[in-house]
Structure formats: C-alpha cells, structure tokens
C-alpha cells in the first residue's frame, strides 16, 4: 500500500511541478491592464530621438545622385588603365567624396516643450513643438510629439494627421505605430485607416544606386576578363537594379499621394460641393481619406470603404 501511495505521489508531484513551470513561463506573456503594463502610457520623444530621426529624404538631395557616378567611373578607369588598383582606388575615393556631399544634419532645442508636456501644459507644448519643427525641418520624432499633444487634448483627427506625416518620413519608427495603435483602440478607429508605407523610399533608392554601380563594375570585369561567370552575375545585377528601382518608384508614388484626415466631430460627406446639398454620410473624426480634387470650398475625397464625396475644407486636415 505504501509503495502504491508513493508511486501515485511521485507522478502527482511531477505533474504539479510541470504545471508550476508552465505557469512561471507563461505568466510574463499574460497581458496586464494597460495602466500596469504601460502600453498606453506614451512619453514624448527626446532630443536624441529627434537627431536620430533625421528626415531629409536622401533621394530629394541633388548631391545624392552623384552616387550614380562611381560605377561608370570605375568602368572607364578599369578599361583604360592596366593596373587594377587605380580603378578600385577611384571607386572608393568618389564614393566617400559623394557621401560627404550628400550627408546633412540638424539640431533642435525643445527642452521647454518637453517640460510643458510633462507638467500637463499640452497646448503650450504643442505650440513649442511646432516652432521647433520650423528649425529642424520635417522630422518624424517631432511629428510624434505633436501627435502626442493632440492625443492628450482628445483630438484624434489632428493626432492621426501628424502621425501620418511622421510615417511618411520614417515608416519603421516604432513610437509612431505604437501611438497610432493606441488611438485606434481609444477612439474605435480600427480598419478605418489606410495602410502605412512599409518601406522608406531612401532604402530602395540606396539599393538602386548600389546595384547600378555594381552593374558597371561587373561590366568592366566581363569586358576585360571575358569570363562567363561575370556575364551571369551581370545579368542578375541588372535584374536587381530594375527590381529595386520599381520598389523605389512604388514607394515614391505612395509618398506623393495626397491624403486628409477628418478633424471635426461634425464632418459630413456630400454628393455635390454645395452648402445647401443634402448630407449623404456622417464622417467619424479621425477617418483618413485620399484627396481627389477641390471646388467651392469643398474637397473631393475617397474613403477607405470606396465612398467618394465632398467634405468642407475646414473639416479636413490636408497633408
């Protein structure tokens, strides 16, 4: 009897131990209320975030297109000179030189705005952040701070508008997506917003430039050494160049699309741009839409549900 009891208690203890270990492992994965986890506690971006979120698009900098020259220059030097060191040295020199020309930087001081935000003076902080952006130029981190002020002031439309601005500059910036998720949950705006641009245009631009230069480098080896392997690699590089160029053009198209966000709680959609026109649909504050045109103080928009109509200019924040 004692042996049987021991044999039962042994597996029972093991079972309890396994359950305890599973609970111990899974407990951190169990989400706590938002107030405890801090998932809805948003902090403003600091000065380091602003510096890291440099927003000047590389492809809009005319000096950046000088990056297209190292490859052709390498090909010329490689075919003219017999020694291979000179073409390689020229390629490195011109790449570093053009990199220096294309680089840019900025500084911003908005410690007062941060202090105002943390003490609850959101309107004053909002004004200061907007003034700071005039100094730095378009900056995703500052757009996040402006959106965060509007979030605290219970204005989801303007908050989403500035988040979209920031996402155009830095699509992968986590703080922007996190705040947008919080706004979607708080104001029940899920599935009413357009998808974000998944890839920053500069990434596809840089890849296009790199593959473009490698095409000329490989072309030089293919012409001079006349080996089939270089021709095969050259074909692959050409394909990669056109693929990355296609992605860049697609991202640029998304970037250039005009959009607006409903910022009024009384916004309506009309079939014709007239004040006397009958109201067609009530629009929810925070709803985003593509802009198709304008007339008579109204803006022609297309919503995420495929509805097209006219909305008053003052009820829509336009990019």
- Yes or no: say if 202 and 210 are a contact pair by the CB < 8 Å rule: no
pLDDT for res 78: 76
Instruction: Mark whether 111 and 182 lie in a shared domain.
Output: yes
For 198, the token pair is 């998944």
Tokens 């107030």 correspond to 35
32 domain residue, yes or no: no
The helix-helix angle for 85-102 and 70-80 (nearest 10°) equals 160
Chunked into runs of 10 residues, the chain (319 residues) has average pLDDT values of: 48 52 43 38 86 70 80 79 60 58 46 88 91 81 94 95 86 86 87 61 88 92 88 94 92 82 94 92 90 93 86 92
Q: Do residues 78 and 117 both lie within one domain?
A: no
The answer to whether 59 and 202 are in contact (CB under 8 A) is yes
Q: Verify that 222 and 285 share a domain, yes or no.
A: no
Pair 250, 308 in one domain: no
85 lies in the same domain as 63: yes
Residue 63 and residue 104 in contact, taking contact as beta carbons nearer than 8 Å: no
CATH number of the domain that 291 lies in?
A: 2.30.30.40
On whether residue 22 sits in a domain, the answer given is no
Total number of domains constituting the chain: 4
- Crossing angle of helices 140-152 and 174-186, in 10° steps, is 20
How many CB atoms within 10 Å of residue 97? 13
Q: Is residue 37 part of a domain?
A: no
Whether residue 144 sits in one domain with residue 85: no
Q: How far is CA 123 from the centre of its chain?
A: 26
State the Cα–Cα distance between residues 133 and 50, nearest whole angstrom.
10
Whole-number Å distance between alpha carbons of 274 and 268:
12
Do 211 and 243 have their domain in common? yes
Claim to verify: residue 218 and residue 277 sit in the same structural domain: no
For residue 14, being part of any structural domain is answered with no
Residue 26 has a pLDDT of: 43
**117 and 94 within one domain:** no
In-domain check, residue 20: no
What does DSSP say about strands 298-303 and 259-262: parallel, antiparallel, or unpaired? unpaired
Output the six-digit token pair for 176: 């922007």
Quote the pTM value: 0.65
Residue 41 in any domain: the answer is: no
Domain that holds residue 288: 259-318
Query: Which of 137, 158, 186 is at the close of a domain?
Result: 186
Question: Which of 102, 118, 137 is the last residue in one of the domains?
Answer: 102
Let me know whether 94 and 151 are in one domain: no
Structural domain includes residue 295: yes
Angle ∠(178,262,305) on CA atoms, nearest 5? 85
What is the pLDDT, as a whole number, of residue 277?
92
Distance between the two ends of the chain, CA-based, in angstroms? 81
Tell me the two tokens of residue 7.
Answer: 């044999």
Looking from the CA of 185 toward its CB, the CA atoms found within 13 Å total 9
- Local structure of 290: helix, strand or coil: strand
Same structural domain for residues 82 and 121?
no
Asked if the structure places residue 218 within a domain, the reply is yes
DSSP result, 106-159 = -----HHHHHHHHTT-HHHHHHHHHHHHHHH-S-HHHHHHHHHHHHHTT-HHHH
Cα 233 to Cα 277: distance, rounded to the nearest angstrom: 63
Same domain (yes/no): 111, 181: yes
């Amino acid at each position: 009897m004692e042996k049987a009891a021991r044999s039962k208690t042994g597996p029972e203890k093991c079972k309890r131990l396994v359950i305890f270990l599973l609970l111990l492992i899974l407990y951190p994965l169990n989400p706590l209320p938002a107030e405890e986890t801090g998932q809805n506690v948003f902090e403003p971006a600091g000065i380091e975030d602003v510096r890291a979120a440099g927003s000047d698009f590389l492809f809009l900098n005319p000096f950046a297109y000088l990056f297209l020259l190292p490859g052709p220059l390498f090909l010329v030097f490689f075919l003219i000179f017999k020694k291979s060191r000179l073409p390689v040295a020229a390629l490195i020199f011109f790449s570093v030189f053009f990199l220096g020309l294309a680089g840019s930087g900025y500084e911003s001081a908005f410690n007062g705005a941060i202090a105002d935000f943390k003490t609850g003076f959101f309107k004053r902080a909002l004004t200061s952040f907007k003034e700071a952006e005039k100094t730095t130029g378009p900056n995703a981190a500052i757009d996040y701070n402006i959106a965060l002020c509007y979030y605290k002031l219970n204005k989801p439309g303007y908050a989403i508008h500035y988040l979209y601005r920031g996402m155009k500059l830095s699509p992968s910036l986590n703080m922007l997506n996190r705040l947008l998720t919080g706004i979607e949950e708080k104001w029940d705006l899920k599935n009413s917003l357009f998808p974000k641009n998944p890839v920053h245009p500069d990434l596809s631009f840089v890849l296009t430039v790199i593959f473009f230069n490698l095409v000329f480098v490989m072309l030089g080896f293919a012409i001079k050494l006349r080996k089939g392997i270089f021709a095969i690699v050259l074909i692959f590089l050409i394909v990669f160049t056109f693929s990355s160029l296609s992605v860049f053009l697609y991202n640029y198209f998304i970037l250039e699309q005009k959009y607006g966000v409903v910022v009024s709680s009384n916004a309506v959609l009309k079939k014709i741009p007239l004040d006397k026109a009958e109201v067609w649909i009530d629009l929810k504050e925070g709803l985003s839409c593509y802009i198709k045109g304008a007339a008579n103080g109204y803006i022609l928009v297309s919503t995420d549900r495929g509805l097209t109509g006219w909305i008053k200019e003052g009820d829509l924040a336009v990019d």
